[in-house]
Each structure stands twice: as structure tokens, then as C-alpha cells.
Amino acid sequence: MKSVGKIIGVNGNMVTVEVTGTVSMNEVGYILVDDKKLKSEVIRILGNTCQMQVFEMTKGIRIGDSVEFSDELLAVELGPGLLKQVYDGLQNPLPELAEAAGFFLERGIYLKALDREVEWDFTPIAKVGDSVEKADTLGSVPEGPFVHQIMVPFNYLKKYSVKSIKEAGKYKVDDVIAVLEDEKGNTFDVKMYFEWPVKRAIDCYSERLKPTKPMVTKVRLVDTFLPVALGGTYCIPGPFGAGKTVLQQVTSKNAEVDIVIVAACGERAGEVVETLKEFPELIDPKTGNSLMERTVIICNTSSMPVASREASVYTAVTIAEYYRQMGLNVLLLADSTSRWAQAMREMSGRLEEIPGEEAFPAYLESVIAGFYERAGIVRLKDGREGSVTIGGTVSPAGGNFEEPVTQATLKVVGAFHGLSRERSDARKYPAIDPMDSWSKYPSVLNVDAVNYARKILFRGGEIEAMMKVVGEEGTALSDFTIYLKSDFLDAVYLQQNSFDPVDAAVIVDRQKHIFAYILEIMGAEFSFEDKDEARIFFNALRQAFIDYNGVEWKTDEFYKREKAMLETLNEKKVGLDSTAAELLKVGV
């Protein structure tokens, strides 16, 4: 028998309930008010009372209102039909929700996440009499460009034999496609979908691997200097307007992954509207079709309180883990985890917990770590590999990277792409600061060659800072030349035009080809009479290289621009230092 309760306290979107029966942490309950059921989650249990966060506006809730507990944890539906969907944080499909509720979304309306009327072409793989266990494949259906595996539900804990399985044909997700039998003769109906608690990681794999394979983003600055690994984690902190969302959209379009999940856990205004408008129109360079065919978007509506931000983060990562279990590579982009942390801070205050730094809960670091730890590359039982890569943006007030959310995130991620207000204001995009940012993952290029270029970049930054004090006239020509090399590297390689159809996405082969010339320029010795001559030369070389970046790879025009760039370079080049020469001999 399911438990019931009465409300004895209301504090914003948190209610205190006196319970008759038993309840569990993260159990879902429904508050009965104005003929509606408002979805809530148990977040603390104290004796015969519990405290619940309400995922709806709490207007009209009164002392004495009834609560019905579901005896189920906060969960999502997993099955075919997730791709191309736009969900809210509770996995309600937003287009259908808007159709059912009108322009202003009503509270208390909860829809099925997966369409029950769509028929899927099911092909059985398992046979009657086969022995199976959780996550084993029973059959498959086509879903967009992928083969969606219909698996034994992950919460089935025993070994089973297949008693019956449907023949190939069209079925709905609600149809029973197989019947399993355990050793005691109990039978279990398996449908195309099942539910899984969002706060529990999916771990139906045989081995967790170290992330070492690069996740190619086709952003030169990232792939070369600040790489991300498949199954790795990275964060993009930066002030408002520095380009976090644009960088995520570019990454989602061009990254070499199978599926992209966008969790707009904090951006509920203009940026989400822009995302919803642009994604269906973006063309997937892999397939030539809409990018939405391999994308899931999860965002909260303005009518939902901040508590739903937490739900959206866990909903997104659970869907990502589900597709990883099929051997696919999934990229999860969370924007922005600062809003999620602020939601935790608000709820912690209402729970009257002892606050940590800047009033965030004392357990902030462990919660953030728990989320990022659900990323990873894994080997499945059949030998295939799948991965979940998590990239989260952080919006620290005033761009202060010392604040608690940024610091807690930096302790657990493998790469830090810090956006700079100075670079953003100078229109240097992506506005990732190459001086402050770092990565623990291997580059797609030769690490020694990358480090050589990085030293030039850092030395040029030091000289630029010195020039601000002593002026250009107080700088030696040799130092001024290093500064010009550093500025050249920044302008032609670190910066990238996201609106240029060619320069927006650069494949690894082209990055290697271009970087070989960059390395030659960084190590070149030049004969300049004075600083003006050096400046004029590098300005001309920079323009020639930018023109070179903007033409299609390996076309006649490409080689024509390459020849013009080399002619400009050789006008003043008189030699090459030994380190650069050796690196070029080895190859980038």
C-alpha cells in the first residue's frame, strides 16, 4: 500500500509533510491542490516527517493538503524515440505540453516522455531459450541514423531465459516484445522501454577505461592546445557575453561524436529560445540532415522553479548513459551549472543547513564531482566501447574564477577552457584564454611541437606585458619579433571564424598541415632592419594566412593561397632554429 501524508509546513518550493507509512529518499510524491497533482521529490527524512522539493509553483498549497506518494524514485523513460525531442527537466515533451496547455504552461500536467502511438520496425536478436541478463540485447529498431538496441531492463538483477520474443514487425513502445523467465519460473514482460532512477548511475559495463582518445571538436585551439578526450570532462567558465553558448553550439555541431545532449539547466530565456530555433535548422555535416536527428534538448520552462534545474541535469546524464550502453559516443553539454548550484544553495537555505563558502551548501563539491564522475569511456560486455563526455559551462559573477562553483568544478574535470572578457571584448573568438586554460588530455598533434609553440605564445605574452610598462621603444628587436610571432599564432590559429563555412570546422588532417607551417614560422630566423619592417612583414603574412584558412581543403585555390603565403614567408626568412627543424623532421 502506497504511503500518504499531510502538509505541515510550506517554505517557498519546499514543503514539510507528515507521513503515514514509509517513504524513501528521492521518492516521488504528488501534492493534491486545486484538483491538480503537483510533482515533488523527497530530499530529507526526519522520523515520521519528510521534506520535499516541489517541481511546480507552490501557489495555493496550504497546511493540511494531502500528499500521495508513488513508491517510485524520480526516474526517466528510456527507449526508442528520445532523439529529436525537446524535454523539460521532468522529461515532459515541451511541444506536446504546449499543445495540451496553451501558451502559458499549466502546472500539474505530466505527459509520457515517449510517444505511445509511433510504430517501430523491431528486429529480434535473441532467440527462445537464450540466457540473458540486464543490458543484454533482445532486438533492435532503427532510430534516425542509429540502430537502437532494445535491452533487458537495467534493474533486472537475475539471469533469465527467453520464454518468448516477437517476430520482426512493427510494434509500439508499450507492446510486450519479449517474456523472460527466471530460475523459479516467474515470468516478466519486457517492453521496448523501461524506467531508470536519474540519481543512480547506469553501470552495466564490464570495464571502465582511461580517457585517452581525443574527442575531435574541429576547433583548432581546443584540439591542439586544450584537447578533450572521449569519455572525459571539461568546463567552460566565463563572464556573461564571452561566448560560452556559441562555443557549445559550435562544438555540438562539429564534434566527432554520435549523439549530442544539450542540458539547458540554467538558461531559460533568450539563449534557449535561440537554441530551439537554430538546432532544427542546423545541418549535420555527418549526414546532411538536420542536426536534431541525433540531438536531445532538455530545458526548463519559465513556469518551473529553480528546483527543476537539478532534475534536468540528472535527466540529461541518465539519457546519455543509456545511449553509451549501446556502444555510442555521447556528448553532454550542460549550460550552465552555476544556475544548478544556485538552486542547490536555495534549497540548502530552506533546509536550514550550515552554509559553506558564499552560502553554497557544504556538500557542493561532492555533488558536482558526482555529476562529472558519470562521464567516462567504458568497455561493454560484448567488447564494444561507448563513452559519455561532459562539458559544463560555469557563469561566475564578474568572471571571478575563484568563486566556489568554478573551483569545485576545476577539482574534478580534465580540461579547463577559461573564457576571457579581455579576449571577448577584442573580438578574439573563441575567447578561451590560452594562458590560463589547461588540459590533462593528449593533443591530436605531436606534444613536443605543441609545447614549442606554447612556449612562444607564453613568451610573447610576457613581452607584451613588459611593453605596456617600458613601451615598444624599450624592447629589443629580438624580443619584439617573438611578440609578433606570438600575436601571429593567436590571430591565424587560435582564433577561428564560426560564421565562415570553411574556417568554422577544421579537420585534424588540415590542422596538422597548417600547424607544420605555424611551427616553421615560430622557429624561423628573420632579417629585419627595424621594428616597423618586422611589423609590416607579419601583418602581410597574417593576412596571407587568414586568406589561406578560408579556402576549401586541397583545392586549386588552397594550393594557390599556400604558395602565396610561403612566398611572403621566404621574403625575410633566413634560417630555422635547431629545435623547430628537428620537430618538423619528426612531424607534427
Amino acid letter at 133?
Answer: E
What does the alpha-carbon distance between residue 486 and residue 480 come to, in Å, rounded to a whole number? Answer: 10
What does the alpha-carbon distance between residue 511 and residue 527 come to, in Å, rounded to a whole number? Answer: 28
What does the alpha-carbon distance between residue 373 and residue 392 come to, in Å, rounded to a whole number? Answer: 13
3-class secondary structure, 392 = strand
Amino acid letter at 533?
Answer: E
Q: 502538509: which residue's cell?
A: 7
- Is the CB of residue 291 less than 8 Å from the CB of residue 253? yes
Q: 497546511: which residue's cell?
A: 63
Q: How many beta carbons lie within 10 A of that of residue 46, not counting itself?
A: 8
Q: Per the structure block, which three cell numbers stand in for 89? A: 527537466
What does the alpha-carbon distance between residue 6 and residue 66 come to, in Å, rounded to a whole number? Answer: 5
What does the alpha-carbon distance between residue 393 and residue 369 come to, in Å, rounded to a whole number? Answer: 15
Q: Per the structure block, which three cell numbers stand in for 498? A: 564560426
- Is the CB of residue 391 less than 8 Å from the CB of residue 251? yes
Phi, psi of 283 (to 5 degrees): -95, 130
- Is the CB of residue 165 less than 8 Å from the CB of residue 138? yes
Dihedral Cα 67, 70, 71, 73, nearest 10 deg: -110
- Is the CB of residue 297 less than 8 Å from the CB of residue 275? yes
Binding residue ranges for ATP: 238-245
What does the alpha-carbon distance between residue 500 and residue 139 come to, in Å, rounded to a whole number? Answer: 43
What does the alpha-carbon distance between residue 202 and residue 204 come to, in Å, rounded to a whole number? Answer: 6
Listed in sequence order, the DSSP H helices in 215-300 are: 220, 244-254, 270-278
- What is each CA distance from 330 to 198, 254, 266, 289, 410, in whole angstroms? 17, 13, 21, 18, 22
Residues 6+ apart with CB under 8 A from 404: 341, 356, 357, 358, 360, 364
Q: Quick check: bond before 338 cis, omega within 30? A: no
The residues facing 76 across adjacent strands are 196
**Burial class for 361, CB neighbours closer than 10 Å (0-12, 13-18, 19+):** buried
Dihedral Cα 509, 511, 512, 517, nearest 10 deg: 130
Q: Per the structure block, which three cell numbers stand in for 577? A: 632554429
- Is the CB of residue 377 less than 8 Å from the CB of residue 319? no
Phi, psi of 197 (to 5 degrees): -65, 135
Amino acid letter at 288?
Answer: G
Residues 6+ apart with CB under 8 A from 365: 408, 411
